[in-house]
Amino acid sequence: MASRDLTAAFIERRTAANIRRRTGDVGNGGSRIKPFGISKGLDSDIMMEEGIPMTPNRHLGGGALSALPPIWVDDVDNVNGLLSDITRLMGILNSMHATRVGTVFGRDLDDMEVKIENMTGDITDKFRQAEKALMRVGAATKRVGGEEATIGANVQRSLAKKLQELSAEFRQKQRKYLSDVQAQKSGALAETESKFGIDLNETEREYGFNETQLAVVDDLNAAVQSRDKEIAQIAKSIEELGSIFKELAVLVIDQGTILDRIDYNMEAVVEHTKEGIGQLEKAERHQKNARPLKCIICLSITIFILLIILILKHRRRW
């Protein structure tokens, strides 16, 4: 694992060369003779460099074109931001889950549940947004084609993998919370039942309730309903995530297969390019072939028509 850093030596030589280049320019009164035979064809750049502290990006693309990244890069940043947001929110949600499961009574119970619900909704939304942005990246890069399409596909793959991992984790947490809440509620239910000596199943058979008993039944019914609602909501969010998961799965590469080899992918690119070139050539040939054919058909039709006219003309004379 030995390594050697040559950066210092490199920069030293580079600065020396650049200084020589600039002073050489000044010394010659701005004439554009260069001190080295090796560097070529960038005279305009050297003129621009004089006296100006250099920033690395300024001269990209021959100085004339600024290297503003394509729009899809913003989408990538967006997804990255969303990813870190999701991780953060999931942390918060996790602690909320913990406190919720820890509390059995209290007025803020409902409040807490509403909060958890909102948070879950937020996170699911974020997942959906991220997925959409990802699709946009794919579409945008595919349109441009070539190298950028490869980059786009790779970006999609890597982000999809991250998203997938996150969503799997999220789903697992949701499920755990769900089962926790369920266990707690059923536990609490059993407790109330035993405390008041009521079996819920018997309520239909027995009539003559006293008022306290009725009140308990009402309470329990309300609890059952709210619980159902809650569970339905969580289940829905899990379902939604599931669909995102499925869509992402198409993008993620299976590890250990030939598709996961770097050289194979590079060869595939070359192959595709070759194929593309072949098809272009074919198309060109087709096009070339079609034109003379059209001419021939046109001309033969004309000849045919003229021939008929000629025949008609001769016939009339007779």
Partner 1 sequence: MDAIKTTRNYIDRIISSERTRGMKVLLLDAFTTQIVSCTTSQSDILSKEVYLVSRLDSNSQNPALDDPMNRHADSTKTGHMKAICFLRPTEINAGLLVKELTRPRFSEYHIFFTGILTAGLLRLIAENDEHELVKQVQEFYADYVPINEDLITLNCRNTIAMTVSAGTAWARDHAHLYERNRQGLESIILSLKRQPTAIRYQASSALAQQMARDVHERIVSDQIFHFRNKSCLLLVLDRVDDPVTPLLSQWTYQAMVHELLGLNTNRVVLKGAPNVAKELEEVVLSPTEDDFFRKNCHSNFGELGEAIQKLLKDYQAQTQTANASNLNTIEDMQHFMDKFPELRSQSHNVSKHVALMGELARLVEVCSLMDVSQFEQELACADDQSIHVRELMDKLGSMHIKVPDKLRLGLLFALRYEHSSNLHKVKSEMRKGGVSDEMIDLMDTILKYAGSRSRGPGLYGVGTKDIMSKMTKSFMTSVQGVQNVYAQHNPVLFDTLQLIQKGKLKQDSHPFIMGRGGVDDVPSEVIIFMAGGVTYEEAAKVSEFNRTHMGRMKVILGGSTIHNSTSFLEELKSLP
**b (16+ CB within 10 A) / e for 121-135:** eebbebbeebbebbe
CB 107 → partner 1: shortest distance, Å? 32
Nearer to partner 1, 158 or 184 (CB): 158
Nearer to partner 1, 8 or 312 (CB): 8
CB 164 → partner 1: shortest distance, Å? 9
CB 108 → partner 1: shortest distance, Å? 30
CA 257 from chain centre, in angstroms, equals 23
Nearer to partner 1, 270 or 312 (CB): 270
Q: Give the N- to C-terminal CA distance of the chain in Å, as an integer.
A: 106
Nearer to partner 1, 9 or 98 (CB): 9
CA neighbours closer than 13 Å in the CB half-sphere of residue 166: 27
Closest-CA residue to 79 (of 164, 180, 203): 164
Q: Distance (Å, rounded) from C-alpha 66 to C-alpha 231?
A: 54
CB 54 → partner 1: shortest distance, Å? 6
CB 127 → partner 1: shortest distance, Å? 17
CA neighbours closer than 13 Å in the CB half-sphere of residue 236: 10
Nearer to partner 1, 97 or 216 (CB): 97
